Amino acid sequence: HEGLAPGCHLYPFNVTIHSDRRSTCRGTHLVYACVGYCESSAFPSRYSVLVASNFTHNITSASRCCTISKEAKVKVRLDCPRGRHHDEIEILTARACRCDMCRKSRY
């Protein structure tokens, strides 16, 4: 990635979509992800946190993650063999990025 820069930035990549497992129809489009390096830290928990966790959480981790803050839908045209019908599929692309809450459930 671009020079390991701090912050959270748009990152272009090509997505290829197949209409089915046999890839009868397929299309490729340039879309954007958000990739970056946001600040996080871990330090000894306050006494109130220790008590609330029954003394199991002696570390507190405070973090932000690189997230998509603005997105848009783009239509990808799928081209089929021998010029048969052309399907269109909508996918998301990032329009703006931001270091924000780490929303993921597994986080």
Partner 1 sequence: SPSVNLRRFTGCAVREFTFLAKKPGCGGLHITTDACWGRCETWEKPIVDPPFIDSFQRVCTYNASRLVTVRLPDCAANVDPSYSYPSALSCECGVCQTRTTECITSA
Residue whose structure tokens are 């990808």:
76
Q: How far apart are alpha carbons 16 and 32 in whole angstroms?
A: 13
Residue 53 contacts partner 1 per CB under 8 A:
yes
CB of 16 to partner 1, least distance (A): 9
For position 107 contacting partner 1 by CB under 8 A, the verdict is: yes
**Site membership for partner 1, residue 34 (CB under 8 A):** yes
Q: Which residues bind partner 1 (CB under 8 A)?
A: 1, 4-6, 8, 11, 13, 15, 17, 31-47, 49, 53, 56-68, 71, 89, 91-94, 97, 100-104, 106-107
